[in-house]
Structure 1
Amino acid sequence: MKRIALENLLKWKESANRKPLILNGARQVGKTWLLREFAKTAYQKEAYIVCRKNELVKQVFARDFDIKRILRDLRALSKVDITPGDTLIILDEVQDVPEAIEALKYFYEQAPEYHIAVAGSLLGISLHQGVSFPVGKVDELDIFPMNFMEFLDAIGEQNTADLIAKRDFASIAPLHEKCVDLLRQYYYVGGMPEAVKQYAETGALQSVREIQKSILRGYEQDFSKHAPKDQVAKIKLVWKSVPSQLFKENKKFIYGALRKGARATQYAEAIEWLVDSGLLYKVSRVSKPALPLSIYEELNIFKLYALDVGLLGAMANTDSSQILIKSDLIAEFNGGLAEQFILQQMKSKQIDPIYYHSTDDSRLELDFLIQSEGRLLPIEVKSGESVRSNSLSTLLQNTPGLQAIRYSMRPYKEQASLTNVPLYAA
């Protein structure tokens, strides 16, 4: 399947300032496939080594950081004659060998002509647990689930994807209902590569849901295997609460929804573990919709989103008919799916940081706020065709020159200070 990240990997290879590469991302988002596909298409040779439960790899990096010796040992382990420029060295599941991460510094300083990339399912956790991270000596690339454009390409809708990519809204207009239907399919299937592959090949909805459930079980097993023992129960509570927190009118994360009397100090570490593992996205509130957004960030008030819209539906046990067939779903459910989708699309485009804004009395609520080309960009998300919004109208009236985007199920339309973009064109 086509992945946009391959283009970023090619840019990394050709960069004059190339450094050893760290691929970040949750389990099952396709990191290993991406690196191996990249090696197959862009290099003559691949030296692929799995670090997990590999004592020989641990011995290679535990001894010292003599890069000449390490390269010799990697040649022996991979059975590949590693040479500069035409060989990609891949260290997979590298979180099991922290010294290998530290060694990247010495690859950069002593052997920059060698191309090396590492990946790990819980690498974000490892990097927050005392690993000597080679600051300034590595490049990093975040890998996310397949976005809507990649999904369209995978299921044979390349022409539709091309029209959306070109922003050819005049040609898209007659296909509006079709695009809405395709978006509903993505809401159900999501972007986990295994689920997308199954759907593209068979269209089997129950098989897709079984794959999603299997992935979720794998994540929950990771809680018990890798999280601090005193945090496992709290992590599970936070994890299971995400659908109910997101499918309500006020999507702000409420600790009291976990259990009566729950406080931030009790669950902060559990939440950060899930965020560091790549399983949840945390969007903080800003107290004021003004630049720079970071100085108005309220770290104790936030919304939590799932890794993937398809997994979110599986977590909530939604029936396929609820999502794929037009029905009178409750507004909060539809709204939660739409917000999750827009956040995922922004993440896949490496848009960061992302905030939201609301007042304590809820008179003003902005779903997302980002900084774009030095300007403040408010983003409103509407799940259907009803787009009335007093909050956004008030903000635009009170802030001359401000431009905003509204995503909804309505066709594309430009207005003086507001552009309506169909959700499927996000």
Structure 2
Amino acid sequence: MYRQAIETLKKWKNNPNRKPLIIRGARQVGKTWLMKEFGKSCFNHTVYINFDGNDRMSELFSGDMDVRRIILGLELEAGFKINSENTLIIFDEVQEVPNALKSLKYFNENAPEYNIVAAGSLLGVALHPGTSFPVGKVEFLDLYPLNFTEFLMATGKEQFVELLQKGDFAMITSFKTKYIDALKYYYFVGGMPEVVFHFSLDNDFNKVREIQKRILDAYEQDFSKHAPNGAVPRIRLLWNSIPVQLAKENKKFVYGLVKEGARAREYELAMQWLLDCGLVTKVSRISKPALPLKAYEDLKAFKLFMVDVGLLSCMSRLNPQTLLKGNALFEEFKGALTEQYVLQQLKGLREIDTYYWANDRGNSEIDFVIDNVNAIVPIEVKAETNLKAKSLKTYKEMFSPAVSIRASMSDYKKEDWLVNMPLYAIPVLLSQIK
């Protein structure tokens, strides 16, 4: 399985000023696999330390932060001498031993020659009170489920990825039925690595659902195991409301759909917990598309999306038979899966902040607005081939964007200010807005 993040890791390795790297991401998005694959492909040796239930390593890091002493302990654990030039040191489940996390600061300051990559499930929420986080002494890499191009590669369609990357839309359009079929599968299967791996072996949709349910059950168990006891019922209610929230015509998050009479302040902790562990993404409204977008963020109005489109389709109990009904899948739940899909692809694009725009009266809305450093780009998402774009025209009249994107099931077409991007080509969106 190929992950694009491996290229980022290679650049990190070759940077003479690198700092220890922390990989962030929800449970089961492939952090451990990525670190081990990086070690296998780019280093002669790998020292893999899993801190979960590892009393010996917990003891090692309970002493002083003398890096040479720690390295000696790691060498004894690994059974060989660590050469800083050709050895990758992996700290997995690092949140289980807060001092191991703290040690990254001292590696950065006193022994920057060592290649250290760390990760942990629920890293954002499991830090013990008083933990000294190495602010400014580490780098971060956010890892998400497989995007659509990674899914194509994992399912043996590398040539289709190459064609997308070349941007030969005349040829791409000739093979659009192949892309559309693959996109249907992606909506159902999603990008969780274990799910994609098993699907690539036998195309068994029942097995897909079985694994997805197991992943969702593991998330529910995390709620009980790691979240504050008082917050667990609200975390569950909020989490389980997401499919209903996204199935609305207006996908703005409404607390009343979590529980009748619910108020924002009652669910602040539950919301933050889900955000911190990477299970949800909040897309806030902006009142005005101007730089910087964050300055115009409306903190009270937002949409809430899940970590993965396949998990959303599982929670929504989407029937596999929907895959056979033409393009009905893309319109399912009022386009909920389609917006989730588009956001999932946008999140994989580095250095892009994503918001949505709605006017004050609420009768005009652009699904996503992104800042690609050079310009602010509105993206309207259509789950079908109907290309009537009243909101996009309103936005154009008000703000005169240099380029606008309409993502739909229609073929690629570029006009002077508007690019119609097929949904399956969203992963190469940036090539259209540079």
Normalised by the length of structure 2, the TM-score is 0.95
- Separation in structure 2 between the aligned mates of residue 338 and residue 327 of structure 1, nearest angstrom: 11
Q: Report the Cα offset of residue 350 of structure 1.
A: 2.5
Q: Report the Cα offset of residue 402 of structure 1.
A: 3.0
CA contact (8 A) 1:396 1:403 kept: no
Partner of 2:33 in structure 1?
Answer: 33
CA contact (8 A) 1:185 1:324 kept: no
Partner of 1:269 in structure 2?
Answer: 269
- Separation in structure 2 between the aligned mates of residue 94 and residue 58 of structure 1, nearest angstrom: 10
Partner of 1:179 in structure 2?
Answer: 179
1:165 aligns with 2:165: yes
Deviations 1:154-198 (A, max 9, x none): 111111111112211111011112211110110011000111011
CA contact (8 A) 2:330 2:338 kept: no
Partner of 2:424 in structure 1?
Answer: 424
- Separation in structure 2 between the aligned mates of residue 400 and residue 44 of structure 1, nearest angstrom: 54
Q: Report the Cα offset of residue 323 of structure 1.
A: 3.8
1:84 aligns with 2:92: no
Partner of 2:338 in structure 1?
Answer: 338
Of 128-137 and 207-216, more deviation after overlay is shown by 128-137
Q: Report the Cα offset of residue 133 of structure 1.
A: 1.6
Note closer, same or farther for the CA distance 1:284–1:330 as it changes in structure 2 (3 Å cut): same
Note closer, same or farther for the CA distance 1:395–1:75 as it changes in structure 2 (3 Å cut): same
Partner of 1:359 in structure 2?
Answer: 359
Partner of 1:233 in structure 2?
Answer: 233
Deviations 1:329-379 (A, max 9, x none): 694615111110111001112343211111343221010111113311111
- Separation in structure 2 between the aligned mates of residue 274 and residue 371 of structure 1, nearest angstrom: 25
| Runs of 5+ unmatched residues, structure 1 | none
Which letter does structure 2 place at the counterpart of 1:310? G
CA contact (8 A) 2:50 2:93 kept: yes
Of 159-168 and 142-151, more deviation after overlay is shown by 159-168
User: 2:23 is paired with a residue of what secondary structure?
Assistant: strand
Of 71-80 and 239-248, more deviation after overlay is shown by 71-80
- Separation in structure 2 between the aligned mates of residue 364 and residue 130 of structure 1, nearest angstrom: 46
Q: Report the Cα offset of residue 82 of structure 1.
A: 1.2
Deviations 1:219-246 (A, max 9, x none): 0000000001110000000110011101
Q: Report the Cα offset of residue 288 of structure 1.
A: 1.7
Partner of 1:114 in structure 2?
Answer: 114
Dislocated runs of 4+, deviation >4 Å: 127-130, 327-332
- Separation in structure 1 between the aligned mates of residue 343 and residue 304 of structure 2, nearest angstrom: 11
- Separation in structure 2 between the aligned mates of residue 84 and residue 359 of structure 1, nearest angstrom: 55
- Separation in structure 1 between the aligned mates of residue 129 and residue 211 of structure 2, nearest angstrom: 31
Partner of 2:148 in structure 1?
Answer: 148
CA contact (8 A) 2:184 2:329 kept: no
Partner of 1:301 in structure 2?
Answer: 301
CA contact (8 A) 2:352 2:372 kept: no
- Separation in structure 1 between the aligned mates of residue 328 and residue 77 of structure 2, nearest angstrom: 58
- Separation in structure 2 between the aligned mates of residue 3 and residue 240 of structure 1, nearest angstrom: 29
1:320 aligns with 2:320: yes
Normalised by the length of structure 1, the TM-score is 0.97
Which letter does structure 1 place at the counterpart of 2:180? V
- Separation in structure 1 between the aligned mates of residue 161 and residue 327 of structure 2, nearest angstrom: 26
- Separation in structure 2 between the aligned mates of residue 400 and residue 101 of structure 1, nearest angstrom: 47
Which letter does structure 2 place at the counterpart of 1:292? P
CA contact (8 A) 2:235 2:274 kept: yes
Of 334-343 and 230-239, more deviation after overlay is shown by 334-343
- Separation in structure 2 between the aligned mates of residue 377 and residue 33 of structure 1, nearest angstrom: 34
Partner of 2:74 in structure 1?
Answer: 74
Give the aligned CA root-mean-square deviation in angstroms: 1.5
Of 282-291 and 262-271, more deviation after overlay is shown by 282-291
Q: Report the Cα offset of residue 400 of structure 1.
A: 3.2
